[in-house]
Each structure stands twice: as C-alpha cells, then as structure tokens.
Structure 1
Amino acid sequence: MLEVAFKALTLSIGKKKLLQCVTGKLSPGRITAIMGPSGAGKTTFLNAVLGKTSGYKKDGLVLVNGKSGSMQSYKKIIGFVPQDDIVHGNLTVEENLWFSGRCRLSKSMSKADKVLILERVIGSLGLQEIRNSLVGTVEKRGISGGQRKRVNVGIEMVMEPSLLILDEPTTGLDSASSQQLLRALRHEASQGVNVCAVIHQPSYTLFSMFDDFVLLARGGLIAYHGPVSEVENYFSGLGIKVPDRENPPDYYIDILEGIAKTKMSGHATPKHLPLLWILHNGYDVPEDMRKDLEEINMMHELYTVGSITRELSSVEQTESKHSVHQNVSQRNDLLNRKTPGVLAQYRYYLGRVAKQRLREATQQAVDYLILCIAGICIGTITKVNDDTLGAASYGYTIIAVSLLCQLAALRSFSPERLQYWRERESGMSSVAYFLARDTIDHFNTVVKPIVFLSTFYFFNNPRSTLGDNYLVLLALVYCVTGIGYTLAIWFELGLAQLCSALLPVVLVLVGTDPKFPQFIKQFCYPKWTLEAFIIAGAKELVFWCMADYSMWSTAKRWL
C-alpha cells in the first residue's frame, strides 16, 4: 500500500510557479477527487504524484509511506489512466486487459489467479457483453466511447496497483456509466488501493462518492484539501454558502474564478481562499502572500473553525496510519513485485503482434498487390541490354522497392507510439516490444522480394539468376525496413511518410551521379545495391572474341 504525502511542495519552470506550497496526503483505501479551474495545476499535481518532476525546479518534500524517495522506484505498482483512451483498437477488450495483466502482475502468480483478477475487473466494469469485441479504430468502428473509457481504466486495474491515478476518467461518460466506474473504483479502494482522480463537473451524486477533495486555485495553490463530508462546513465558516440547486464543487470553482459573487467573512475575498487554507491549517505563509495578511481581519474566527477541523483530521490521520501499517504488513510483497522478464514479455508481445498482423491481412494483401504491379511496370518499361546491363531497370527497382517497403515499415511503430509510451512508462520492456515486432516483420522481409521478382522476371527476363537477384533484394528490403523503423521512431507520422517518399529518390541520384564526392556515396545504400545487381548480371554475360575482332587486334574499336 502506498501513502503519498506532500510537505510545502513547490514546482516551477523559470520564474513561473506551477504548484505552490502544496501540503497534504493521499491515503490508501480512499478515493480523492482533484478539481480546479483551467490552469490551476491539476496535471502538474498528477505529475508530482507520479514522480515526473524532471525539468521542474522542485522545493519541498514528497514522502512515500513516510519516507523520502523516488516515485519511479514504485512504478510497477502504480497505475496511471491517461485522459485519452490509449488502447489497441485491433485487439478485443479481453485481449487488451489480459496482455496488461500478464506483463505487469507478479511472475510468481499462477495463471489461474491472473484469470480470476481478469474476470473480476471485467465484471466490476460491466464489460462482460463486449469482452470478445474489437475495441475499434478511427477507420473501423468498434465499441462505444464509454465502453472504451472503461477498457482504458481496466488496463490499469487488472495489474492490481497500490496507487491508481486517473486523469478525467468520467469525461465523456453518461451519469450511469460514471457511477458504475466510481463503484468499481470504490471496490478497489476497499481493497486498500490509493485512488486519485482529476474530474470535471461531476454531479452531486458522483461527487459524494469520493472520500477526499482537493480544490486547486490558479497558481497551483490549495484552497481546500480534506474530506468531502466537511467541505461545505468549511466554506460555510468562511461565509460561502452554496445556493439551492447548485452543485457545491462547481460553485466553489466559480467563486475562485470570480464568476459567482459572494460576501465572505471579515475583509477576505475569493482570491484569499488559498491563504485562508494555509492559515486554517497553521502552515507557513509564503513570502509573496504575506502582504495579503493585512487585508484579512478574521484570524480569531479562522483558528476557531480550524481547531475543530484539525481535531477531526488528526483522528483520521491516526486511523489511516493504523490501516496503512496493517495493510502494508499483509501485502508487503507488492513493493518488491517481480514482473515477467524480457524473454517472457517477448513471448507475450510476439503473440499479440501476430494477432494484430492477421487482422491486418487486407492491408498486407494490398502491399503485395502494389509490389506485383510495380514489378510489371518496371519490367515492361525497361529492358536489359549489353551496354547498360539493366542499370535503368535496377535503378527504378531500387526506388520502387525502397519506397513501398519503407512506407510499410512505418506502420510497425508510428500508429502505436502512444501505446508504446504508455507501456514503457508502466515498466514493460522496450527491448521485448521492439524484438517482437521486428520478428514478425521478418516474414514480410523474406516474402516481399519474391512477390516483386515473380512479375519483374516474367516481363523483363534479366541475365542474372533469380537467386542472385533475390539475395540483393533481400538485403535491400532489410536495409530500408531498418530506415523505416528509424523514421517511425524519431519523427511524427506525417514527416516520416514524407521522408520515406523522398529519401529513396534522393539517395539514388546521389549514389549514381559522378559529381558527388566518393565519400558521400559510400553512405548511400542505392550505390551498393546497384553495383550488386550489375555484378550479378555481368557474371552471366559472355564475351565472344573472334580473331579479327579481338581486343588486341582492333583496340580502337573497343576503346
């Protein structure tokens, strides 16, 4: 179990402070709602919880179970549900969840226990009826948006996290689906999971299902952090009473934004709410906020209200600490969870990629058809002769095969960049991911030269043997596939496609133009490919030397 506590935490970039003096804690066994206006630092707060503070200037402490340490060391037992539904559209609901569980649950856990966890998650999220349905993509419709959102959450729930962070899990869901999701999260919390979620405009019924509430004001300051049951009492003590038929959290955000007008106790105004919370809890006031102290003339009232809340808070903290220590003693193995190694994950990835490729059979067939057409066109237009040894046809072959195979190689990584980043951040092996996709792609590497040569040879009939041409094309496809991988990994899809289209043409021109320096040509794969093709063809060329037409007797004719 993980208890995450903050003490005077401040995150800034340059002179801009994104979080200021954040003090509080996220307790196991409770669901915490994070709310606030746009620009209040909700995403930054989640990054702080997840330990993603690189690039920020950090002040203050982040404590995990009372000890200072890096959150990254706990990433195998932390689940993060992103706002976007990053799931594999060409897998079924069950396949998405099962893969996450196999790779992220303890390797010592039996398969039967993992299946039980999978069934529990599917049942709690109400996914039984669609478990065998494809999730779907933009091009091919699958399950509904609300069901997709629940699958997104289930991917993290199935690995049994100790800390579950959700970024707007109820956005886009109707009231019934939102309540079903919250009930599933409450069940997780009842098992000792620390659940924290950023939410927008929840209904009153949904809001009341949370245990704790963090209200952030602009500038990353906390205006309230405590039990949901006490939030109305706290703001009522400041003179802020929720009107009838108003949703409390939405009304408090409107107060912070200045949309709703209200008269507060003393000389305080809504902009003083973060300062009042600091004074209410007895925290140290930051230097840049001390000038506002003179504007507030209600110190006695604040500390009277605050003393009651602090007494309640101290009782809750005592109970929470007892619960945390009890749960940690029962499930201490979570902190030392050993997930499957690289070889095991490679096997799991291999099975997943094979399923995805089989479901993309139509796209594979189109690739082969285009290669056949390219072979027909190039074989028909260009013919081999003794003067050029087929240099023109081989040059076009290099361009066509490079272009088609590089564009196909982009599909191995570019469409799943977001899924890859999510899996890598959760602790899955990047090596296993790459090797599995490359292993499956070797099938295309071997088959595509055969597909092209099957039509090219019929219409062109080159002198070189089929075996020699196949070996040269095999090396070419292997080379350009690697280039396609590199472009897919380093660039966005649009730029990668543009580079894949231009690169073969440019490199063929550079590699065959005598004006370019020789050392540049050494790095152009078309140069070596063209030389290999011509050498293979020249091996089969027979020179007839008659007595009257020998090179030695009629040298001028040959030279």
Structure 2
Amino acid sequence: MQQEMTDLEVQTQTTQEDHSTILKKANNPVTLKFEDVVYKIKTKKGGILKKNSKSEEKTILKGITGMVLPGEMLAMLGPSGSGKTTLLTALGGRLGGRIGGSITYNGKPFSNIMKRNTGFVTQDDVLYPHLTVTETLVFTALLRLPNSLTEEEKVIHAESVITQLGLNKCKNSVIGGPLLRGVSGGERKRVSIGQEMLINPSLLFLDEPTSGLDSTTAQRIVATLWELANGGRTVVMTIHQPSSRLFYMFHKVLLLSEGNLLYIGKGAETMDYFAGIGYAPSVAMNPSDFLLDLSNGVSSDDSNEDQAVIKQTLISAFRTKLCDRLKAELHEIHRNVHEGLEDKQIARWTTTWWQQFSVLLRRGVKERKHESFSGLKIAQVLVVAFLSGLLWWQSDIAHLQEQMGLLFFYSGFWGFFPLLEAIFTFPQERMMLEKERSSGMYRLSSFFMARTVADLPMELVLPTIFVIITYWMAGLKATAGNFFETLFVLLISVLASQGLGLAIGALVMDQKSAAILGSVIMLSFTLASGYYVQHVPSFIAWIKYLSISQYTYKLLLGSQYKPSNTYPCATSTGICLVEEFPSVKLVGLGGKGISVVALAVMVIGYRLIAYVGLMRIGRTSK
C-alpha cells in the first residue's frame, strides 16, 4: 500500500500537493470526552392491537464513560445489539431523544461549528451509482466547502483527497450499484470516507467501515484511518470482528455488552487487563474473538459458569478497577479549547441557496438522465403512442364518441404514468437526503427545487412526443391553435399528476405502500371524471372537484370542440350540436378558466405538501 501511495503522490500536480499537505494535519484538534452517557427509549409491550399494551422504557446505554484524544483511533467492539452504533451516533451529535450524562468536545457541548468539523461515515455507502468517483467528490466539495475557496480550488481539493486515499486508478469509474457494475467495495468505502475528508474534519466517526470487505481491503481502510488519526484527528469507529492485525492498530479499544461498558483503554493492554481479572484465553486466538466471547458471557476455559454471571463479573471488575481512574483522568486532563473552533460565529450555510440549487441540479441531471431517458421508458411511450394512433386512425367528428375516447385516454394514461414515476422519487432518495442533510450540506428548499426541475425534461418531453404522434395520426383538428392548446392542457395535467406523486411519496416514504395509495387515488379520480359514469350519485360527486382527470378531460374537450360545432346525428335535420351530445353535455365545454386555475393550484399545492412531508427528514440540520 505504501508503494501504491508513493506512485500516486508522484502523479499529483503541485497545486494538488499544496492541498494534500493541508489535509494531512487537523486544523483544530478535538478532545472528545463522554461521562455516564445514558440513553433510553420507550417501547410498547403487548402490540398495537391489544387493549392492555403498555409503554416500557428500555435502556440502551448504561452509563458509558471514556475519552479520545487528538491523534488517537478508538475502536468500539461488541456483539450485535450491544449499543455500539447508538453510542457512535450519540457521540456524533446525531442521536435524537433524551441523552443522559455529559458529552463534550474540547470541554464544550456539540455546536454548529463542531458539526462543520465533524465527519460521519455510515455503515452503508450511500452514493449515487451513475456518478464517477471524481464527480461524486467534486459535487460534495462544491456543496460542503465554504465560499472562501473558488470553484477551481474546491475541485483541486477534491482531487487531492482522491490522491490521498489512493483512488486515482478508479477516479473515472462509476460508483455502481446492484444493477450496475462499478468500483470495488473497498473503493466505495474510501469514497465515502473521502466525502467526509473534504472538510478536513477534526473529529471522524465511522460505523463498521470494514463491513463486507476482505481482510486485505479492510487493513487498507484501517491503515488509511490510522494515517488520518496520526495527523492529529480524533477517529472513532465501530467494528464487529477485526483481525488480529487490525486490532493492534487501534490506539484505544472500547468493549460493550448489552449497553454496559466492560473495558476502555489502550488496545495493547486489553489482554493483560482481562487476564488480571481471571479471564485469559486457553489457546492463542484473535483478541477481538476473545473479547466478543466475553461480551457474550462466554469464557474460553470451557467452564460451566453462567453467562449472566460472567457478564456481571466483568461489569463489576470494570467499575472497581477502571471506572474511578478513568473519571479522574477525564477531570484532570487539560481542556485544549481552540478559540477558532468553538467561539467564532459562523454562517448557517457554507454556500448560497443559488449555489446549492445549481450544484444539486447538475448532479441530479447527471444521475437521473440514465433513468429518465432509459430505452425502456422511451419504447413504452412510443409503442403506446403508435398503437393509439393506429386504433384511432383518422377518426373524424362523425365518430364523436371515439374521439372523446381518445381524449379521455390522454387524460388517463398521462395521469397514471407521471404519478407512478414521481411516487418513487423521494423514497429512493431518503437515505441520501438523511445523510446529506444531517451533515448540513444544503437547504431542503434547494434540494427540493433542484430535484423537481431535474425531472422536468422527462416529464415534458415524453408527453410532447406522444401528442405529436397521436394527434396527427388520429385526425384531430389540424390547426396550430388546437394542437398547442391540447399540448398545453396535457403538460399541465402531467405536472399536476407528478406533484400528486411527489406528495404521496414524501408522506408515505414506502415505495410499495405509496404505489398502492397513488393507484387507488388516481383510479378514483378517473372514475369520477365523467366518462365512465355519467350520473354520479350526489353523495360521492364531490370527488370530481378534486379529480385531475376531470379537469384535464374537460379542457381536452374544449381544445377540440366549440359549442357551435356540429356532428352528424339521427335526427330530422341530420345535424346536432356537439354541446348537446349527452357525454359532452355532462362535462360541459365552458369553464375553461376555472379548470386551468384548478390544475395550476394542484401543480403548486401538491408540491407544497411534498415539501412539508420532506421536512420530517434530517431535522437536525434544518
């Protein structure tokens, strides 16, 4: 790995080397101290449907105490459910609810400026699959780095991080995902770490950074983190079962069992401590395996001692042998408070609203273009368009009912299609939104506007192509005015349906449930729009006033027919007024202005509802 890094450093330009030098040292070292940290949650016993269900309080963390100094790397060990991730999230300032005890950073509580100097890498690598490594880090740099740097300097900063983390060989490769081949798991993890390294954090948290990686890749990741800690940063991570090589790279080790602290201290002294209280492995073994056995209440000497007794013995030993000394060290250590870190007043956001919108729009277009203009979607629209054109081939006003059927099909197809597309937008983005907003990367409003605008090309181009094909094949009124009025009505209907989909997705945030709810709502609107049922009972007729399909269908009829138009009919004169046709008379050809206003209100109103629904996500970074 050292040879690989040497080769990469030789390739780095002089400007990049200057930025890389900055990254090697932490600007503001942070001493992290936590004392008697307690975290409780309320759980319901008996289930929701049972009458006697009671709320119980469960303690997740039970008085955790410790300290991590600048230049140290702390590894939290323990079995699943021991509270590792909860403690890490609490120390990172991202845990909601009531937290008992004290957590301080250079002697002060968590603050906005501390948040700016803290990096947090989640266990799952939440990255956009179609962006390259360079694009991912450059977009992050443009959003997270302050305006004191120019855009060119931010790009150079991102490139220097790529070099520092040994990502030059894959810098132009896409990240990839389940259905798209991209970089390796270790490279993905380094990209996630790189996103946090862009801000040159003084404090870095990582949740299971070696999860799912082979031992060699895991060692490279931990070696990189060791180098970052060696630069004066405070590094804290959770790790499940590291190899012995990794174990001895940790400056400090913290062992948890069911929310109880069993040990915190130097990694090299861990085995001696447990041997001193009567627990030593009977054979040579990986220290982390031995510690996990102990935290599960399993002794390695094949004794029949009860697991609960072993756990209680270890808890008592910690309290008598380590706890008092640890608290004394916490109180004696010098508070290395840096005025520039804690006391300086900073702006709430590092970039302006317009900068955030511009970067997010560019990123959204790059990522979404593969999905928005996929061959499958284009083929779907083209096939339906040509099939519709052939079925309604050159129909004329003599076949008024058939033309009305085509116009109703317009409203139905372009009601469901954009709705179902938009429903999946925010549920798919939830993890990314939570990650980026919890880091204070951008305003929710800038994300929402960029995300909405990025989808407009697909939402407007495909229905335009659809109308161009079907309108002339079906023989609708061949004038520019009628054509563009039909197109305008359909596009505003598409935007209203898309808004409804965004609102449902943002409120429900579950793809399957949102799709079912959206289908039921749109089907109700379609049934009440005045085509299938002409005599709707009064007690349910109110649905049509909420129906996108009803207003769209009414406007589409108005785009083709005027009250003075006639059609051939079986009367004495052989000619009847279109407005007297039973299906047309029920819907009416008047009130176009009201219908346009209703759809415009829906376009805006549904998006406002979607925005309010998204406000629940990432509340810590409003």
Bin of the TM-score, shorter chain as denominator length: 0.7 to 0.9
State the alpha-carbon separation in 2 of the partners of residues 314 and 373 from structure 1.
Answer: 71
SS of 1:25 mapped into structure 2: strand
Q: Which residue among 456, 467, 480 is the counterpart of 1:453?
A: 467
526-535 or 238-247, which deviates more: 238-247
State yes or no: 1:6 paired with 2:16.
no
Q: Is the 8 A contact 1:94 1:132 kept in 2?
A: yes
Q: Is the 8 A contact 1:371 1:401 kept in 2?
A: no
**What amino acid sits opposite 1:63 in the alignment?**
T
State the alpha-carbon separation in 2 of the partners of residues 152 and 110 from structure 1.
Answer: 23
State the alpha-carbon separation in 1 of the partners of residues 343 and 450 from structure 2.
Answer: 30
Deviations along 1:31-87, one digit per CA (max 9) or x if unpaired, are 1100012221112112211233434x43222223212x3456633322211111211
State the alpha-carbon separation in 2 of the partners of residues 557 and 452 from structure 1.
Answer: 28
Q: Where does residue 522 of structure 2 map in the other structure?
A: 504
Query: How far apart are 1:468 and its partner, in Å?
Result: 1.2
491-500 or 471-480, which deviates more: 491-500
Q: Where does residue 513 of structure 2 map in the other structure?
A: 495
SS of 1:511 mapped into structure 2: coil
Distance 1:523 1:314, change over 3 A: closer
State yes or no: 1:440 paired with 2:461.
no
Q: Is the 8 A contact 2:567 2:575 kept in 1?
A: no
Deviations along 1:257-315, one digit per CA (max 9) or x if unpaired, are 23334589xxx8442212221222455xxxxxxxxxxxxxxxxxxxxxx6xx889x579
TM-score of the superposition, structure 1-length normalised?
0.83
Q: Which residue among 18, 34, 37 is the counterpart of 2:60?
A: 18
SS of 2:99 mapped into structure 1: strand
State the alpha-carbon separation in 2 of the partners of residues 557 and 493 from structure 1.
Answer: 42
State the alpha-carbon separation in 2 of the partners of residues 239 and 196 from structure 1.
Answer: 29
Q: Where does residue 486 of structure 1 map in the other structure?
A: 503
Distance 1:63 1:461, change over 3 A: same
Query: How far apart are 1:462 and its partner, in Å?
Result: 1.9
Q: Which residue among 374, 378, 392 is the counterpart of 2:384?
A: 374
**What amino acid sits opposite 2:86 in the alignment?**
T
**What amino acid sits opposite 1:44 in the alignment?**
T
Residues 297-446 of structure 1 mapped to structure 2, 5 A cutoff: 318=333, 321=334, 324-325=336-337, 328=338, 336=346, 339-360=350-371, 363=374, 365-382=375-392, 383=395, 385=397, 387-388=400-401, 390-410=403-423, 412-429=425-442, 430-446=444-460
Distance 1:330 1:527, change over 3 A: closer
Q: Is the 8 A contact 1:22 1:221 kept in 2?
A: yes
Q: Where does residue 23 of structure 2 map in the other structure?
A: none
Residues 456-475 of structure 1 mapped to structure 2, 5 A cutoff: 456-463=470-477, 465-475=482-492
Query: How far apart are 1:557 and its partner, in Å?
Result: 13
Q: Is the 8 A contact 2:229 2:235 kept in 1?
A: yes
Q: Is the 8 A contact 2:123 2:207 kept in 1?
A: yes
Query: How far apart are 1:540 and its partner, in Å?
Result: 8.1
State the alpha-carbon separation in 1 of the partners of residues 40 and 421 from structure 2.
Answer: 43
RMSD (Å) for aligned C-alpha atoms: 3.2
Q: Where does residue 45 of structure 1 map in the other structure?
A: 87
115-124 or 399-408, which deviates more: 115-124
Query: How far apart are 1:458 and its partner, in Å?
Result: 2.6
Q: Where does residue 301 of structure 1 map in the other structure?
A: none
SS of 2:449 mapped into structure 1: helix
Query: How far apart are 1:186 and its partner, in Å?
Result: 1.9
Query: How far apart are 1:163 and its partner, in Å?
Result: 1.8
SS of 1:37 mapped into structure 2: coil
Q: Is the 8 A contact 2:114 2:341 kept in 1?
A: no
State yes or no: 1:194 paired with 2:234.
yes
Q: Is the 8 A contact 2:129 2:177 kept in 1?
A: yes
Q: Where does residue 34 of structure 1 map in the other structure?
A: 76
Distance 1:472 1:544, change over 3 A: closer
**What amino acid sits opposite 1:350 in the alignment?**
L
SS of 1:393 mapped into structure 2: helix
Q: Is the 8 A contact 1:104 1:428 kept in 2?
A: yes
Matched residues, percent identical? 28
SS of 2:200 mapped into structure 1: coil
Query: How far apart are 1:128 and its partner, in Å?
Result: 1.1
SS of 2:161 mapped into structure 1: helix
State the alpha-carbon separation in 2 of the partners of residues 427 and 25 from structure 1.
Answer: 26
Residues 126-275 of structure 1 mapped to structure 2, 5 A cutoff: 126-218=166-258, 220-262=259-301, 269-275=310-316
Q: Where does residue 49 of structure 2 map in the other structure?
A: none
Query: How far apart are 1:472 and its partner, in Å?
Result: 0.6
Distance 1:37 1:4, change over 3 A: same
SS of 1:11 mapped into structure 2: strand
Q: Where does residue 529 of structure 1 map in the other structure?
A: 552
SS of 2:70 mapped into structure 1: coil
Q: Is the 8 A contact 2:137 2:191 kept in 1?
A: yes
8-17 or 110-119, which deviates more: 110-119
Query: How far apart are 1:333 and its partner, in Å?
Result: 8.6
Distance 1:392 1:330, change over 3 A: closer
Q: Is the 8 A contact 1:24 1:225 kept in 2?
A: yes
SS of 2:529 mapped into structure 1: helix
Deviations along 1:386-414, one digit per CA (max 9) or x if unpaired, are 65483222111111122222233345444
State the alpha-carbon separation in 1 of the partners of residues 112 and 282 from structure 2.
Answer: 44
Query: Structure 1: 5+ residue runs without aligned partners?
Result: 284-305
**What amino acid sits opposite 1:99 in the alignment?**
F
Distance 1:149 1:95, change over 3 A: same
Distance 1:380 1:503, change over 3 A: farther
Q: Is the 8 A contact 1:163 1:193 kept in 2?
A: yes
State the alpha-carbon separation in 1 of the partners of residues 380 and 409 from structure 2.
Answer: 15
**What amino acid sits opposite 2:436 in the alignment?**
E
Distance 1:228 1:242, change over 3 A: same
Distance 1:93 1:456, change over 3 A: same
State yes or no: 1:125 paired with 2:165.
yes
Distance 1:242 1:501, change over 3 A: same
Q: Is the 8 A contact 2:410 2:490 kept in 1?
A: no
TM-score of the superposition, structure 2-length normalised?
0.75
Query: Structure 2: 5+ residue runs without aligned partners?
Result: 1-28, 43-56, 586-622
Q: Where does residue 16 of structure 2 map in the other structure?
A: none
State the alpha-carbon separation in 1 of the partners of residues 271 and 282 from structure 2.
Answer: 11
Deviations along 1:342-386, one digit per CA (max 9) or x if unpaired, are 2111111122122224444751x4333322322333344354546
State the alpha-carbon separation in 2 of the partners of residues 175 and 357 from structure 1.
Answer: 35
Q: Where does residue 519 of structure 1 map in the other structure?
A: 542
SS of 2:211 mapped into structure 1: coil
Distance 1:215 1:532, change over 3 A: same
